[in-house]
Amino acid sequence: MKKILSIIFMGVAAFTMTSCFNDFDDADTSNFSVTATSIGEPNTTIYDIKNMYCSNSTKAGTNVNSSNFWSLISEDLIFEGVVVGNDISGNLYQQVYLRDFGTGGKAEGKTDQCIQLGIKNPCLHPYFRLGQKVRVNLKGLYVGVYSKTPKVGTPYFTSSGNNRLGPMLFDLLKTNVQLIGEPDPNAPELVPMDKTTATGLNWIKANSNQTWENSPILATVEGKIKEVQGGAAKAAEAGTQDSWNGVYESIITYYENGEKCYSKMYAPECLRDAGYAVDRTIQCSNGSTVTLRTGTGNDISFLTIPKDSRKYTGIMSYYSGWQMQLRDTKDIYPQIDPKLGTDSDENK
Amino acid sequence: MSKGVFLVASALAFAMQASAQAPVDSLVVDNADFTFTESQLDEDNDASQSVSSITSKKDPYLSEVGYAFSAVRFRVRGYDNMYSNSYLNGVMMNDLEQGRFSYSIIGGMNDAVRNKEGVSQMDYNMFGVTGIGGGDNVNMRAGQFAAGNKLALSGCNRNYTVRAMFTKATGFNKNGWAFAGSMGYRWADYKTAYIAGTFYNSFSYFLAAEKRFNEQHSLNLSTFGAPTERAQQSAATEEAYYLANSHYYNSYWGYQNGKVRNSRVVHDFQPTAILTWDYKPDNQRKLTTSAAFKYSMYSSSALSWGGNAYDPRPDYYKNLPSSIFNVYNKDKNNSEYLGTNAFLLDQFNYLTDYWQTEENRQVKWDQLYYVNKQNSLYGTGESLYYVERRHNDQMVFALNSAWNHTLNNRHKYGTGLELNHTVGKHYKTMDDLLGGATFTDVDKYAATDYGDYSKEAQNDLNNPNRQIKQGDIFGYNYNILVNKAKAWGQYQYTAKHFTFNGQAHIDGTTISRDGKMRNGRYEHNSYGHEGSEDGTTAKFLGGGIKGQFVYSPTRNHSLNLGVSISSNAPLARNAFVAPREQNNFVDNLTNEDILSGELGYTFTFGKFTGKVDGYYTMFRHGVEQTAFYNDQQERFTYLTMTNVEKRHYGVEAALSYAPDSHWTINLVGTYGDASYTNNPYAQVNYDGMDGATNEKLNALTNPVTGKSEQLQVIADGMKVGSTPLTAVMLGVKYNINYWFFEVDAKYYDRVYCGFSQYRRMTNVLKTYAPSSFDADGNLVYDVTQTELEENGGVLFNADGTFNKAYSPKQEKFDGGFMLDASIGKSLRLKRGKTLSINLQLQNLLNNTNFRTGGYEQNRDDFYNTGEEKAYQFSKNSKYYYANGFNFFLNIGFKF
């Protein structure tokens, strides 16, 4: 009997020693996808979609005002685009930007169009890498404009109670979005429109270009940030001292000829507006300006603004004037080292 | 775990070698296999709920309620378990940091802890002065075990499904040695556990050796532990339960490669050794001295995330249909509004359907791996999702010595000393990077506030930007040191018709923190002992006295009156503003004062026996801390209340009617109240924010004067939650020819939801300045009385002085019935062997709708703009439900 018991209990002991309920191999993600495997063939283009649903508020199913309107799509309208903007730095929020060159649509020749795809998830870049070709079936989705920017998504109510075109449910990717092939980091769509040349500068200056056809775009502009020029460069900004309460002074303050001066960051929390973002002004060489809008709390927001002229590449749209949102810290050139707040070695 | 296995194997080997001695000489029903401790031994150290702890065989009420009401997490008088004291071989084993006794230390060793003396708070006893919740002392000396072997095999559908226990004791041999050993195993896997997605894997061992040198001296060494690995169960909102179509929905698990994986897995092992010297110079005097050493290793894993990653919890509110529009607002939840805004109903319905797929309502492990791999290859490189393991290890050295002397039939006294040195070690390690390649040790909240490369983002400035691999410590790492010395004495005088006993104690406690990391937000008061604003060590002097008078005019009737007053040091777990980050103590850290009184009547009328007690207890200057993930601020938050006042009072009764030797009818019940009676001071600390910012958030801005005022929690009138304040049981027992039958009907009511202190802070509640005066000159506010009573608010007078505060309404759960039954049979076999079989059926009516507890979410219902959020956090508390029908079959064999 004793022997039997010994065997039983030793067996139990051995079982316990070897058994572990929570040892797992890494998940096999080789076939993992959050999107559909097939949603049909493209039958329209971004241009056609924008032309139909983003150009005229009076034709929209819901018309809040001329800057915010949208329509529910009830047919299989399928278009393609390449991801040219995502939330890799956290500056773009719940949105990716798709761009195509207009081939295959009804309006052949209306090239180079972008549209915003709103998706309810703050971390889209693992699914939508730059250069990824994406196919979208609009059936069941809404197309219109959010603050004049053409967009695909779903309506929602903002924290101020306003009805706007917002992001679609993430799970709708399973039925409405398909990834085509692998991302191509060298895709031609990733080359921004150059607005640093004389032609580009004139294009920015001309208000007539502020149309739905030219918004959004992936573009590069060049200029100095107004808030760090002249006397403004050394002065504390409203809220700076209050918000940081001196703790951050070692980072933002410097002395010039014994005079205490304040560095500026792109988007300090203390300056944020209701949209949790800060506007800076890029002054181009021809006098035209582009608002650089940066969200707080992301990689770009803590960079110290250089006084000199830089190239800024990002998603440009317009409301009352041109506005740009950077995708990444690398969208500032020459780059700023986020650790040092000064120019990156990569520029050298 | 490996240490535990080694010790288990040692205990097993010893138990096998020892030989059986004296046969069991009596046939007893081993209902103790089902004692309430079965519930306690499954306790989770970090559970928000805990069951009643103390039983007293002398008290007909306490002897019943602990087990009878354990299914609904009943706590005697609504007291926290920290007010009860548990002794093992005379050593007080309550955890000095948490205050509570950890039942998992003796999990699965029912036979080893069966010999227990339980006392109520006023009882004279041999081991020490207990708290207001009473106390018990388990005798685990080898010599107290009856010689023989016992094998118990159990099957059930509870936390575990299989249990096996084997106990062997030798009794004293001719050389004065006695040995005892016990080992057990409890097991359930994902398929068999009552709650989906959980498992249970636990060994337990107990080993004791006692040497009786002579009639005066004996020495005993007991060592025990229960290495355990088990998965946890979540609470959920009623909406989530509804969508999952089960009150046992568990959001902690999901599928990985098609296999179930739980994100919350506890590892618990608390090896303990107690050396006891008994000195008994004569029958009237006894000195018991015990030294205990415990090194507990407790950790629990949790899914965590950084960067901009989407909250991976499947029941995250944004995944729920009610996040689309306010379903509680009649202005929105109507056909006209939803017809106009059809997109709301479309999304609501979409998410409702989404929840019908099991995969969608559980953790999507594969997706987390995918995101990490993508981010490693093409993004920032960091693991966005990971599993962290939060460790709460503890090293304890305790020494107790108790001297008891019976002077004569009338006088006896006892005195003793208790010393305890505890080092709590708190840190977290990387359990699993979930396919990710790298992880940098920075605070994600501070990185958002100050930037990834700021000093503030660093968790350890002594090792900035440290790259974390699996098993590495990161985030926080600190020790809490607690020393306590207590001297006590008690005296009892017994006369013909009355008994008096008095007890007194004095104690001293020191508390300090020893940081192992230099936190970037608290550079100068986080590392080592440095920088605490209040000095590096907090010292507290406590004490108390008790007195009980029992008047017994006849053998069948007695009246007892007891009063106690005590002043107790705050718990170390509540003492620091934010122990993960800094050394500072909370403001207003003082002793808690307790005044308690009880009046009881014990009687026997023929075949009726019973007891009725009334009690009243006041708490003053208490300190309570909650630590939680704050959805409002989106960061881990500590909230400490000081100057807490509470009042517990009520009636307890137990009545037993035994018409003959076969039948017994029991009626046991209580009706009580346990409420907060003031608005305590509040101190809040948000992880990731520096001291200056936190200081600003620790004030209320007076809406009239604009000045900053002391932050408070509007807690006045709130009930202590997660225990029934009304509980009644009617039970019938019948035994004949060693058959035993029992049926118990139970009714519970007045269980309250644990209230969110955060939602009741004065700077979270709406504040109101008077808008005008009415015709009678009374102040008029822009809020209705109904709104105040429902949502709370703070009213100020026209001169800015405080007028009145309303706390948001606290939810009371519906009451409910439960029916339990058990049947047992004992058989006497040849050569003194016995076999007992017992089947317990709990919740026969399968009441799956009885809430045992829950808590409000720490978030309010409005944006900063004043606009109402779609998701109403105030109406979506999270709940726990009592298990539906379940059984426990036990077969015991003594040989």
Q: What is the pLDDT of residue B540?
A: 97
**Cβ contact A129–B374 (<8 Å):** yes
Nearest to A90 among B301, B308, B369 (CB): B308
Mutate to test the interface with A, among B453, B863, B867 (most CBs of A within 10 A): B453
CA distance B147 to B173: 10
| Closest residue of chain A to B869, computed from CA coordinates | A159
| Closest residue of chain B to A341, computed from CA coordinates | B453
Residue B829 tokens read as: 């076999």
Q: In chain A, which residues have their Cβ closer than 8 Å to the Cβ of B262?
A: 22
**Cβ contact A90–B185 (<8 Å):** no
Place of tokens 């006392």: B119
CA distance B684 to B680: 13
Residue pair B300/B46 in contact (Cβ under 8 Å)? The answer is yes
Nearest to B189 among A21, A269, A301 (CB): A21
CB of B739 within 8 Å of any CB in chain A? no
User: Chain B neighbours among A 196-215 (CB < 8 Å)?
Assistant: none
How far CA B330 is from CA of B238, B326, B338, B579, B860, in Å, comes to 19, 9, 11, 44, 19
**Cβ contact A171–B354 (<8 Å):** yes
Task: Determine the distance in angstroms separating the CA of A257 from the nearest CA of chain B, rounded to an integer.
Answer: 26
Compute the radius of gyration of chain A from its Cα atoms: 25
* Peptide bond between residue A334 and the one before it cis (omega within 30 degrees of 0): yes
Complex confidence, ipTM: 0.90
Residue pair B613/B653 in contact (Cβ under 8 Å)? The answer is yes
User: Helix count (H) and strand count (E) of chain B?
Assistant: 10, 42
pLDDT < 50 regions, chain A: 1, 3-5, 7-8, 11, 14-15, 17-18, 105-108, 240-247, 249-250, 345-348
Nearest to B256 among A27, A159, A169 (CB): A27
Q: In chain A, which residues have their Cβ closer than 8 Å to the Cβ of B261?
A: 22, 24
Q: In chain B, which residues have their Cβ closer than 8 Å to the Cβ of A19?
A: 201
Residue pair B202/B185 in contact (Cβ under 8 Å)? The answer is yes
**Cβ contact A5–B166 (<8 Å):** yes
**Cβ contact A157–B870 (<8 Å):** yes
CB of B593 within 8 Å of any CB in chain A? no
**Cβ contact A21–B265 (<8 Å):** yes
> Which mean pLDDT values do the consecutive 10-residue runs of chain B (895 residues) have?
37 33 32 35 40 60 82 90 94 95 90 89 92 94 94 93 95 95 93 92 95 96 95 95 96 94 95 97 96 96 92 95 95 94 96 96 97 90 95 97 96 97 97 93 87 87 94 97 98 95 97 96 90 79 96 94 97 94 93 97 93 97 90 82 97 95 95 97 86 81 91 96 94 94 95 94 92 88 92 93 94 94 94 93 94 89 86 93 94 94
CB of A112 within 8 Å of any CB in chain B? no
Helix (H, G, I), strand (E, B) or coil at A14: helix
**Cβ contact B870–A247 (<8 Å):** no
Nearest to A19 among B9, B201, B350 (CB): B201
**Cβ contact B374–A171 (<8 Å):** no
**Cβ contact A22–B261 (<8 Å):** yes
Task: Determine the distance in angstroms separating the CA of B228 from the nearest CA of chain A, rounded to an integer.
Answer: 10
User: Chain A neighbours among B 357-416 (CB < 8 Å)?
Assistant: 360, 365-371, 373-375, 378-380, 384
Q: What is the pLDDT of residue B455?
A: 85
Instruction: Identify the helix (H) or strand (E) that includes residue B448.
Output: helix B444-450
CA distance B280 to B215: 7
Task: Determine the distance in angstroms separating the CA of B230 from the nearest CA of chain A, rounded to an integer.
Answer: 8
| Closest residue of chain A to B454, computed from CA coordinates | A339
Mutate to test the interface with B, among A5, A18, A26 (most CBs of B within 10 A): A26
| Closest residue of chain A to B864, computed from CA coordinates | A159
Q: In chain B, which residues have their Cβ closer than 8 Å to the Cβ of A247?
A: 456, 690, 692
Task: Determine the distance in angstroms separating the CA of A158 from the nearest CA of chain B, rounded to an integer.
Answer: 9
Task: Determine the distance in angstroms separating the CA of A135 from the nearest CA of chain B, rounded to an integer.
Answer: 20
Task: Determine the distance in angstroms separating the CA of A203 from the nearest CA of chain B, rounded to an integer.
Answer: 33
Residues whose CB falls within 8 Å of the CB of residue B531, separated by 6 or more in sequence, listed in order? B522, B524, B525, B582, B583, B584
**Cβ contact B351–A169 (<8 Å):** yes
Using a 10 angstrom Cβ sphere, with 0-12 exposed, 13-18 middle and 19 or more buried, the burial of residue B605 is exposed
Among B11, B148, B156, CA closest to A12: B11
CB of B337 within 8 Å of any CB in chain A? no
Q: In chain B, which residues have their Cβ closer than 8 Å to the Cβ of A129?
A: 374, 378
Residue pair B570/B623 in contact (Cβ under 8 Å)? The answer is yes
**What is the interface size between A and B, counted as CB pairs within 8 Å?**
159
pLDDT tens digits, residue range A272-312? 888 889 999 999 999 999 999 999 888 899 888 998 999 99
Q: In chain A, which residues have their Cβ closer than 8 Å to the Cβ of B9?
A: 13
CA distance B798 to B7: 70
Q: What is the pLDDT of residue A157?
A: 95
Residue B535 tokens read as: 């000095």
Residue pair A37/B51 in contact (Cβ under 8 Å)? The answer is no
Q: What is the pLDDT of residue B688?
A: 75
Domain ranges of chain A: 46-190, 193-347
Among B454, B589, B466, B458, CA closest to B532: B589
| Closest residue of chain A to B451, computed from CA coordinates | A302
Task: Determine the distance in angstroms separating the CA of A282 from the nearest CA of chain B, rounded to an integer.
Answer: 23
Q: Strand locations in B708-815, DSSP E?
A: 708-710, 726-736, 739-749, 767-768, 772-773, 779-780, 793-796, 802-806
| Closest residue of chain B to A129, computed from CA coordinates | B378
Q: What is the pLDDT of residue A247?
A: 41
Q: Which ranges constitute the DSSP H helices of B187-320?
A: 238-244
The reported pTM is: 0.91
What end-to-end distance do the CA atoms of chain B give, in Å? 32
**Cβ contact B256–A24 (<8 Å):** yes
B181 - beta bridge partners?
A: B168, B207
DSSP line for B175-207 = TSEEEEEEEEEEEE-TTTSSSTT--EEEEEEEE
**Cβ contact A26–B435 (<8 Å):** yes
* Peptide bond between residue B579 and the one before it cis (omega within 30 degrees of 0): no
Task: Determine the distance in angstroms separating the CA of A139 from the nearest CA of chain B, rounded to an integer.
Answer: 13
**Cβ contact A13–B864 (<8 Å):** no
CB of B349 within 8 Å of any CB in chain A? no
CA torsion B758-B763-B767-B769 (nearest 10°) is 160
CA distance B89 to B105: 14
Helix (H, G, I), strand (E, B) or coil at A16: helix
Count of C-beta atoms within a 10 Å radius of residue A278:
23
CA distance B366 to B388: 17
Q: Which amino acid is at A10?
A: M
CB of B649 within 8 Å of any CB in chain A? no
CA distance A206 to A200: 10
Assign 3-class secondary structure to B670-725.
EEEEEEECCCCEEEEEECCCCHHHHHHCCEEECCCCCCEEECEECCCCCECCCCCC
**Cβ contact B12–A29 (<8 Å):** no
Residues whose CB falls within 8 Å of the CB of residue B129, separated by 6 or more in sequence, listed in order? B488, B490, B503, B504, B505, B544, B546
**Cβ contact B450–A25 (<8 Å):** no
**Cβ contact B347–A24 (<8 Å):** no
User: Chain A neighbours among B 456-515 (CB < 8 Å)?
Assistant: 456
Residues whose CB falls within 8 Å of the CB of residue A148, separated by 6 or more in sequence, listed in order? A67, A212, A215, A317, A318, A319
Q: In what order do the strands lie in the sheet with B802-806?
A: B767-768, B793-796, B802-806
Residue pair B575/B569 in contact (Cβ under 8 Å)? The answer is no
Q: In chain A, which residues have their Cβ closer than 8 Å to the Cβ of B453?
A: 302, 338-339
CB of A190 within 8 Å of any CB in chain B? no
Q: Which amino acid is at A325?
A: Q
CA distance A192 to B894: 84
